[in-house]
Amino acid sequence: MTRPSVIVCVTDQKSCSRLIKAGYDMAQNLGAQLRVLSIQPEVKLGQNEGTALDILFGIAKEVGADMTVYYSDDSINMAISYLKEFAVSALIEGETGENGNGFIDKIAVSCPEIKIYTIDKKGIMREYNQKI
pLDDT in tens, 36-49: 999 998 888 877 66
Cα separation of 112 and 88, whole Å?
A: 11
The structural domain count of the chain equals 1
Q: Is residue 24 part of a domain?
A: yes
**Residue 71 counted as domain residue:** yes
Residue 91: predicted pLDDT: 96
68 inside domain: yes
Give tens-digit pLDDT for 55-85.
999 999 999 999 999 999 999 999 999 999 9
For residue 74, the model assigns a pLDDT of: 93
CB 71 within 8 A of CB 44: yes
The answer to whether the CB of 103 falls within 8 A of the CB of 76 is: yes
Q: What is the mean pLDDT of residues 23-29?
A: 96
Say if 66 falls within a structural domain: yes
Q: Which domain holds residue 40?
A: 5-127
Instruction: Report whether pLDDT(101) > 90.
Output: no
**pLDDT of 1 strictly over 60:** no
Q: How much is the pTM? A: 0.90
Instruction: Establish if 132 belongs to a structural domain.
Output: no
Report the CATH number that the domain containing residue 76 is assigned in CATH. 3.40.50.620
For the cut 60, the answer to whether the pLDDT of residue 132 exceeds it is no
Which string of DSSP letters, residue by residue, matches 14-36?
A: GGGHHHHHHHHHHHHHHT-EEEE
